[in-house]
Structure 1
Amino acid sequence: MSPESTGQNEHHLRAFRRGFRTWRGDRPFWAGLFTMVGGLPIAYFPYANMHLGNITLAMSTTAGAGSLIIGVLLITLGLTMWFHHIVRVFAGVAAILLALISIPVANIGGFLIGFLFALLGGALSISWAPGEPKPDTGGAGAEGRTSEDAGFGTREPGPEFHSAATVPQQQPEEHDTTVEVDGGRHRAG
């Protein structure tokens, strides 16, 4: 091992990080995370007991089962946003509705913590849109890629863009300097 070596496992760590970044970019990652984080306090607080010295504070309500169902559904919707991002709009609307329902049912929406996180996650899920792939400009030129390299010999569909370098420039026309006056043609200038 030389002093310039960065270590044996750094390549694997970089590859994992790059793969995770790609996976995270292809789906509403933060929307799912906020929705799941919002579901945790909604499901937890109705069953929790806080101890303040010798005093035990029970935060359980009569709607403990409803709180648990709302919290579990929010966590499920967060996972749905991650792994089935096609239904992200449905999951976002459902997360917002469950967050609103949690206000009267689950201790003011998990003491507003779960409510705010679930509301934010639902809004992020609705507003998320997949990114456009970067155009491949390596070797294809400005006229678009052809799939001749793949053996098909046809053009791929898509918008065509022409730069000034690929559009032939028209030469300025030479102006005719003859003028017609009284039935005869005379050369001007």
Structure 2
Amino acid sequence: MSPESTGQNEHYLTVYRRGFRTWRGNRPFWAGLFTILGGVPIAYFPYANMHLGNMTIAMSTTAGAGSLIIGVLLVTLGLTMWFHHIVRVFAGVAAILLALISIPVANIGGFIIGFLFSLLGGALSIAWAPGEAEEDVPEAREHGQEPHGTAEAPRKQRLFGVATEADGGGHRAG
């Protein structure tokens, strides 16, 4: 063994943490987490009972089954964002729609808590985009090339499909 190899000396928690960070970075993790956290209060509050001394306050409504369905669907959409991130846009739109439907159906969207978490999770899921691998960048620089996307802007600049003055006139772009 060489002194540079640290693979076998690492603690198993460090290995798991790095693996989790890699897994988390390849999917809309926070979007799924917020959607799951939004679905839990929406499904829970209509079936919860609060005890104040000897008095029991039941928050159940006539739409208890509807709020349970909305909550379970939001949790399912959050898990879908994690494990099938290819359908993240669909899951995000569905989470936003379910969050909006939960306002009249499920005790004002789980007392606004579930509504806000689900809305934020859906928006994060729609906005998330997978990162690009940076493996090719050092190789391209070694060979004297610019990596893809970092080259200078082209001399001909077009705005809304029409050539600008730097282009030499106002002719239509092709």
The answer for the alignment partner of 1:76 in structure 2 is 76
Q: Distance in 1 between matches of 2:9 and 2:69?
A: 43
Alpha-carbon displacement from aligned partner over 1:90-139 (angstroms, at most 9, x marks no partner): 00000000000000000000000000000000000000000111143159
The verdict on how the C-alpha distance between 1:160 and 1:65 changes in structure 2, with shifts beyond 3 A counting, is closer
Deviation at 1:142, TM superposition (A): 3.0
The structure in which a higher percent of residues are helix is: 2
Contact preservation (8 Å) 1:41, 1:110: yes
The amino acid of 1:76's aligned partner reads T
Give structure 1 stretches of 5+ with no counterpart: 1-7, 145-157, 163-189
Deviation at 1:161, TM superposition (A): 7.8
TM-score (norm 1): 0.70
1:58 paired to 2:58: yes
What CA RMSD, in Å, does the superposition of the two structures yield over aligned residues? 2.2
Q: Answer with 1 or 2: which has the greater Rg.
A: 1
Q: Distance in 1 between matches of 2:44 and 2:148?
A: 52
* Percent of residue pairs bearing the same amino acid type: 79
Q: Distance in 2 between matches of 1:79 and 1:17?
A: 20
The amino acid of 1:109's aligned partner reads G
How do 1:31-180 residues align onto structure 2 when only pairs under 5 Å count?
31-136=31-136, 137=138, 141-142=142-143, 159=148
The amino acid of 2:143's aligned partner reads A
Deviation at 1:13, TM superposition (A): 1.2
Q: Distance in 1 between matches of 2:53 and 2:149?
A: 72
Give structure 2 stretches of 5+ with no counterpart: 1-7, 152-174
Q: For residue 75 of structure 1, give the secondary structure of its aligned residue in structure 2.
A: helix
The verdict on how the C-alpha distance between 1:27 and 1:58 changes in structure 2, with shifts beyond 3 A counting, is same
The amino acid of 2:116's aligned partner reads L
The answer for the alignment partner of 1:166 in structure 2 is none
Q: For residue 27 of structure 2, give the secondary structure of its aligned residue in structure 1.
A: coil
Count, aligned residues: 142
The amino acid of 2:47's aligned partner reads Y
The amino acid of 2:123's aligned partner reads A
Q: Distance in 1 between matches of 2:150 and 2:52?
A: 69
Q: Distance in 1 between matches of 2:106 and 2:81?
A: 23
Q: Distance in 1 between matches of 2:79 and 2:110?
A: 20
The amino acid of 1:141's aligned partner reads E
Q: Distance in 2 between matches of 1:114 and 1:160?
A: 40
